[in-house]
Amino acid sequence: MTYCIINCTVSNRNDGIEIAQKLIEKRLIACCNIIDNITSLYTWNNKLNKDNEVLLIMKTKTQLYSQVEDEIKKLHSYEVPEIICTPIIAGSKDYLNWIEEQTEG
């Protein structure tokens, strides 16, 4: 089994909690770290933007990535949300086993 970390930014903590709870309830992710008050700089519609956002760091099985992405897109307020998947190449066996137990499939 392979595992990954999915990063996603949201506009506020409440949106992040809602997304994380729904993904956990559906057993698509094992857990989510929510990091408040990050500053994001980016260009959108030819304009430089600087926004305060919240970062979600989610752990799951790689095979569930597409389902997680689809669910985030349904729930997210952004037109084009950041959804980035990074493979976990190594980790504590106990922790990876816990991810396995907490997610579907």
Question: Residues 55-84: pLDDT tens digits?
Answer: 999 999 999 999 999 999 999 999 999 999
Domain extent for 60: 3-102
Token pair for 21: 């709870």
In this structure, what CATH number is given to the domain that contains residue 17? 3.30.70.120
Q: What are phi and psi of 95, to 5 degrees?
A: -70, -45
Question: Residues 25-41: pLDDT tens digits?
Answer: 999 999 999 999 999 99
Please give the tally of structural domains in the chain. Answer: 1
Between the alpha carbon of residue 22 and those of residues 5, 54, 87, 92, the distances in Å are 17, 17, 22, 26
Start-to-end Cα distance in the chain? 11
Span 37-55, mean pLDDT? Answer: 97
Q: What pLDDT band is residue 105 in, cutting at 50, 70 and 90?
A: confident
Mean pLDDT for the chain? 97
